[in-house]
Amino acid sequence: MKPVSNTPDWVLAALETRRQEDLMRRTITLDSPQIPHTQIDSQQYTAFCSNDYLGLANHPTLIKAMHSTAEIYGVGGGSSHLVCGHLAPHQRLEEALADWLGYERVMLFSTGYMANLGVISALADKHRPVVQDKLNHASLIDGALLAQAPLRRYLHADVASAERLLAKSTSSGLLVTDGVFSMDGDVAPLAELSKLASQHDWMFMVDDAHGLGCFGENGRGCLSLAGLDSVSLPILVGTFGKAFGTAGAFVATSHDYADYLTQFARPYVYTTAMSPAMAGATLASLQLIQSAEGQERRDRLARHIAYFRQRVEALPVELMPSATAIQPIVIGDSAAAIQVSEKLKSLGIWCTAIRPPTVPTGRARLRITLSAAHSDEDLVLLCDSLERVLTANV
């Protein structure tokens, strides 16, 4: 006898719509560490879709640091930072990050999503609006929605569009942008946006999840690239799950903002602190990023980016303008993007097709991400495979 489903019809209908539109998401399981040569479903692939930009996720120094920290401080945070969950490894990491970036204070969060929710929902409200780039990450948009703040979105990376929105506003608020846009790979015009925020007396916030560690002086990301500091960029969010190779996030800011967020950022107040062992591993990662090895990895990543663009720009496809580790190739149709992804898999390349609603309708793509952990031979394999698949589909 067939079991009777108690799933609501609207849930089933929504899932069926996703299937029909080739938009269904599914989880895959890796049978290996987060490394370029990975194993999925007992098959070997060279992966080009991880955010492990510097190749630190499986670095022996980080693994050793996590083990040694756990032996002293354990694994669990046990409580929120404000009760009894702020351990010495957390404090050391916060102080090292503040020193690296030139800010008065750093606050740790469990994830980048929670950091963005916490900061925006605390600083914005019904009377303090939020103006954001149209292509900002979902967590930045959701932070404004959680705050119930008036939300306006300017044309992507368009300073004039942002200025029009600020000029129309009857009250000052929060101007927010990604540093590096996660699906397009381009960099926001931060210097111009910072000047705009100052002129209109707005707070300015940047989420540099995909920039920190990867470029700029000493790996300081978009902050360094744009020539900004803690005054011209008063609220900087960063994550550890990308170039750092660990997990968690932080907000770098002033003493006053940090004190305010400690009182009113609910995801900070009411969440158990990140693992002290993870904090220890992240501190080791930060030290690597600042070291000669970190610079060598950034240099290698830059060489990979240059080689990739030189090869793919010659192909009859749309390679988006990006100088970062994120190198999107627009396919257009979702079904076609899936087809290209599957053909690459048959050649040993793992690169997931990115489809709406993550990207705009008609702009499905391969989001190629490069890592310092890739070898030159890996890049040749990728470009040869892309040339074979993409020219066959023209």
Helix axes of 376-392 and 334-346: crossing angle, nearest 10 degrees: 130
Domain shared by 158 and 205, yes or no: yes
Domain shared by 257 and 298, yes or no: no
Confidence of residue 27 (pLDDT cuts 50, 70, 90): confident
Domain shared by 350 and 297, yes or no: yes
Q: Please identify which residue in the block is written with the tokens 């605390």.
A: 122
pLDDT average, residue stretch 116-126: 97
Domain shared by 378 and 263, yes or no: no
Is pLDDT of 217 > 80?
yes
Domain shared by 107 and 241, yes or no: yes
Q: Give the pLDDT of residue 30.
A: 83
Q: Give the pLDDT of residue 2.
A: 60
Assess if residue 192 is contained within a domain: yes
Query: Annotation-wise, does 5 bind a ligand?
Result: no
Assess if residue 249 is contained within a domain: yes
CATH (domain of 263): 3.40.640.10
Domain of residue 361: give its range: 22-51+292-392
Query: Annotation-wise, does 270 bind a ligand?
Result: no
Query: Annotation-wise, does 213 bind a ligand?
Result: no
Residue 4 is given by DSSP the state P
Q: For the chain, how many structural domains are there in total?
A: 2
Domain shared by 129 and 268, yes or no: yes
Domain shared by 146 and 264, yes or no: yes
Is pLDDT of 172 > 80?
yes
Final residue before a domain boundary, out of 238, 264, 290 = 290
Q: Which of helix, strand or coil describes residue 99?
A: helix
Assess if residue 135 is contained within a domain: yes
> Pick the residue with more confidence: 5 or 103?
103
Confidence of residue 42 (pLDDT cuts 50, 70, 90): confident
Q: Which residues are catalytic?
A: 182, 210, 242
Is pLDDT of 118 > 80?
yes
Assess if residue 144 is contained within a domain: yes
pLDDT average, residue stretch 112-121: 97
pLDDT average, residue stretch 241-250: 98
Residues in a beta bridge with 327: 368
Q: How far apart are CA 306 and CA 300, in angstroms?
A: 10
CATH (domain of 47): 3.90.1150.10
Assess if residue 13 is contained within a domain: no
Confidence of residue 1 (pLDDT cuts 50, 70, 90): low
Q: How far apart are CA 385 and CA 8, in angstroms?
A: 44
Q: Is the dihedral of CA 70, 76, 80, 83 positive or negative?
A: negative
Neighbours of 159 (CB within 10 A): 16
Assess if residue 343 is contained within a domain: yes
What percent of the chain lies above the pLDDT cut of 70?
98
Final residue before a domain boundary, out of 290, 309, 344 = 290
The DSSP line for 52-74 is -TTS-TT-HHHHHHHHHHHHHH-
Assess if residue 8 is contained within a domain: no
Final residue before a domain boundary, out of 225, 256, 290 = 290
Assess if residue 37 is contained within a domain: yes
Query: Annotation-wise, does 113 bind a ligand?
Result: yes
Name the pTM for this structure: 0.94
Domain shared by 83 and 112, yes or no: yes
Q: How many helices (H) and strands (E) does the chain have?
A: 14, 14
Please return the burial class of 256, using the count of CB atoms within 10 Å of its CB with bins 0-12, 13-18 and 19+: exposed
Query: Annotation-wise, does 105 bind a ligand?
Result: no
Mean pLDDT, all residues of the chain:
95
Closest among 72, 148, 143, 153 to 109, alpha carbons compared: 143
Is pLDDT of 393 > 70?
no
The DSSP line for 167-199 is HH-SS--EEEEESB-TTT--B--HHHHHHHHHH
Domain shared by 198 and 340, yes or no: no
Query: Annotation-wise, does 137 bind a ligand?
Result: yes
Q: Give the pLDDT of residue 194.
A: 98
Domain shared by 240 and 279, yes or no: yes
* CA angle, residues 46, 353, 110, in degrees to nearest 5: 80
Domain shared by 257 and 342, yes or no: no
Domain shared by 100 and 116, yes or no: yes
Q: Give the pLDDT of residue 24.
A: 85
Query: Please, are residues 326 and 210 in contact by the beta-carbon 8 Å criterion?
Result: yes
Query: Please, are residues 188 and 157 in contact by the beta-carbon 8 Å criterion?
Result: yes
